[in-house]
Amino acid sequence: MKLVRFGEAGAERPGLIDAEGKVRDLSGVIPDVAGAALTSAGLKRIRDHDPASLPLAPEGARLGACVGGVRNFIGVGLNFADHAAETGLRVPREPILFNKAPNCIVGPEDDVILPKTHEKVDWEVEIAFVIGDRAQNVAEEDALSHIAGVCVCNDVTERHFQTERSGQWTKGKGCPTFGPLGPWLVTLDEAGDLDNLDMWLDLNGRRMQNGSTSTMIFRIPYLLSYISSFMTLDPGDVVTTGTPPGVGMAMDPPVFLKPGDVMRLGVQGLGEQSQTVVGYRPDDGRASAYRTGFDIAR
């Protein structure tokens, strides 16, 4: 299945993509693509409905982030061997983990807003996985059974905040609009070979990133097992798994985002995103309108 959320920011409705590529409204089946709806039982409930029996979403409706109610948004750093090489850093012995603020999540076509004091804002096409069944101390061989699906993520990053302001990477990772997700949450039966998916990102029509999940250092089952040994992952939590080479900071000279830039990115079989970069503006409510999901049944 390809699950989506459509409608205005903060008021998205759940949906799925039917065989003809049209969005069907799931709001009569589940309250949101979030929480309990993403468990094994929740996904079975969705599958039990014939998509043709569901009403069509309004033509041209905005797509929001493909998952709502995210409580934990975890990133994995330097997880592609060729990206580690371009940065001149050693391959990590264990996964490098950081947090992205859940309220930085936006839709796949929403603007990316530069922070007020930005200096070096960069792009990172990634594949993210979304937790289905609760995960705590999960064995690697059982990990995939705890994943609801995977999606495209742009792990937008302010490098000056991340590496030059001291402390943790989190400073450069969670600014408002720095977490576009979607367009679809693709269940594993339709996602293809997670270890061999092409990934790419264009900036203003120029190919910047061109890689594959085949160069991942730590694969998705290992990552879920590893992370769940330190914390409990709940339904709807998101883990974004690292980026292939071609980021702006590694270019000579470095290239960073500026107002008017357009990023287009995608992962094989998981769809495409496109964001326009805009200059700083006070919070217009879009990022804060992202539903935190504390009212959604788990």
Say whether pLDDT at 274 is over 90: yes
Q: Which domains does the chain have, with CATH numbers?
A: 65-278 (3.90.850.10)
164 or 60: whose pLDDT is higher?
60
The Cα–Cα gap between 194 and 183 comes to 17
| pLDDT value for 204 | 98
Question: What is the β-pairing status of strands 271-278 and 112-113?
Answer: parallel
- The predicted model scores a pTM of 0.94
The Cα–Cα gap between 12 and 55 comes to 15
Quick one: pLDDT band at residue 285, thresholds 50, 70, 90? low
Angle CA(212)–CA(80)–CA(224) in degrees, nearest 5? 95
pLDDT tens track for 43-59: 999 999 999 999 999 99
Quick one: pLDDT band at residue 293, thresholds 50, 70, 90? very low
pLDDT tens track for 85-111: 888 778 899 999 999 999 999 999 999
The Cα–Cα gap between 130 and 71 comes to 11
Give the rounded percent of residues in the chain with a pLDDT score beyond 70.
Answer: 95
Q: How confident is the prediction for the chain on average, in pLDDT?
A: 93
DSSP H or E run through 112: strand 112-113
| pLDDT value for 296 | 37
DSSP H or E run through 41: helix 40-47
pLDDT tens track for 207-254: 999 999 999 999 999 999 999 999 999 999 999 999 999 999 999 999
CA 14 to the chain's CA centroid:
17
| pLDDT value for 286 | 53
pLDDT tens track for 67-76: 999 999 999 9
pLDDT tens track for 162-218: 888 877 788 999 999 999 999 999 999 999 999 999 999 999 999 999 999 999 999
Q: How many CA atoms lie within 13 A of 244 on its CB side?
A: 20
Query: Which of 129, 159, 161, 163 lies closest to 147 in space, CA to CA?
Result: 129
Say whether pLDDT at 284 is over 70: no
